[in-house]
Amino acid sequence: MQTVQDLMTTPAMTLDRNDELSVADELMNAARIRHLPVLNDRGRLVGIVTQRDLFHSALVRALGYGTAANRRNLDAAALAYVELTLQCVECHKYVRGVELAGQLDGPRRDPLAD
């Protein structure tokens, strides 16, 4: 029966948690591997970096989804929501005014109560 020791790569390639992502990418490409252990200052395992992690990080940066971009998008969404809410309130006031003036035909209903 084979064991993990029979198939593992030695010596193990590792990363320091302060290494740049480009170092991880270069090591993975050179060794044709998709996962690298990450060690702390004392040589203890603190995580694993995968090719998928690197791809996701690059994609997020390329699309501008960093923290600042997220904050801008959330601020814009909140502003749009407030503007839409104000428009709905104004529309509701107009409909109510028309109803009160007797200018609407048919049954009266509150469009915001639905």
For residues 111 and 95, give the distance between their C-alpha atoms in angstroms, rounded to a whole number: 9
Confidence of residue 75 (pLDDT cuts 50, 70, 90): confident
For 8-40, write each residue's pLDDT tens digit: 888 889 999 999 999 999 999 998 999 999 999
Kind of pairing between the strands at 15-16 and 45-50:
unpaired
H-state helical runs in the chain: 4-7, 21-31, 51-63, 67-100
CA gap 28, 37 in Å, rounded: 11
Separation of alpha carbons 47 and 90, rounded Å = 54
pLDDT tens-digit readout, 58-72: 877 777 666 666 677
Rounded distance between C-alpha atoms, residue 52 and residue 59, angstroms: 10
Question: pLDDT tier at 56 (50, 70, 90 boundaries)?
Answer: confident
- Separation CA 25–CA 72 (nearest Å): 30
Question: Confidence class of residue 42 from pLDDT cuts 50, 70 and 90?
Answer: very high
Mean of the per-residue pLDDT values of the chain = 77
| Residue 112 one-letter amino acid | L
